[in-house]
Every structure is written in C-alpha cells, then in structure tokens.
C-alpha cells in the first residue's frame, strides 16, 4: 500500500510542477510536459513490479503508437482558441479528436502489422 501511495505522490508531483512552472513560463512548462516523464515512470513501475522484458517492450512500443494520435490535439486547441472558441470548448473538441484518433489507431494499427498489446 505504501508503494502505491509513493507512486501516486511522485506522479502527481510532476503534474503539479508542470502547472506551477506554467504560471511563470508557459514554454518551459510545455517542454517539461512534453518530456516522457510519465511514460518513463510507468516503465520504471512496470519493470519494478514485473521484471518482464517482453511486457515492458510491448508497453514501450505501444506507447509510441498511441502518442501519435494525441499530437494533433496540441495544434487544434491553440487554433480553436485563436478563433475565439472558449477554453473548455476547445479542450472538449481537441479531446474528442484525440479519442477518435485513438479508436482509429486501435483499428488501423493491427491491419498494418503493428501490435498495440491489446
């Protein structure tokens, strides 16, 4: 139970740090947010919990493929905001696009021979 709490606190601290950095320097916060810290922590926790190289390899490769559908959101949201769409509307539309692209990736990737670990 303590281990789970430690994982949660470290993961949450990253999110809090990014939001606090963003108050002072949006660009630097974006840099920190773009670092694969959560993915690396996830891999560390997975390795510590399982020591399973095949599972970790599969997880890492699938993470790469699932990052791709999330990238357009980071272009759509600022574009929508620039067009006067309120923040929560832009966030909802960007998130909706990402969800649709995730489903598309889950459907198309296996047809292209990409294993997403499903």
Find where tokens 């963003």 sit: 22
Q: Which of 14, 61, 54 is nearest to 38 (CA)?
A: 14
Tokens of 9: 């606190």
Which residues fall within 8 angstroms of residue 113, CB to CB, at 6 or more apart? Answer: none
pLDDT per residue as tens digits for the range 45-70: 899 999 999 999 988 988 889 899 99
- Percent residues over pLDDT 70 in the chain: 99
| pTM of the complete model | 0.73
Q: How many angstroms separate the CA atoms of 70 and 83, rounded?
A: 21
């Amino acid at each position: 139970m303590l281990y789970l709490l430690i994982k949660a606190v470290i993961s949450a601290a990253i999110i809090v740090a990014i939001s606090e950095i963003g108050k002072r320097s949006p660009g630097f916060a974006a840099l920190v947010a773009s670092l694969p810290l959560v993915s690396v922590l996830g891999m560390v926790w997975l390795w510590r919990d399982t020591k399973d190289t095949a599972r970790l390899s599969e997880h890492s490769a699938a993470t790469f493929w699932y990052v791709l559908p999330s990238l357009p959101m980071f272009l759509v949201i600022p574009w929508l905001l620039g067009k006067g769409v309120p923040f929560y509307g832009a966030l909802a539309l960007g998130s909706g696009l990402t969800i649709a692209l995730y489903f598309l990736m889950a459907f198309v990737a296996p047809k292209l021979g990409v294993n997403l670990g499903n």
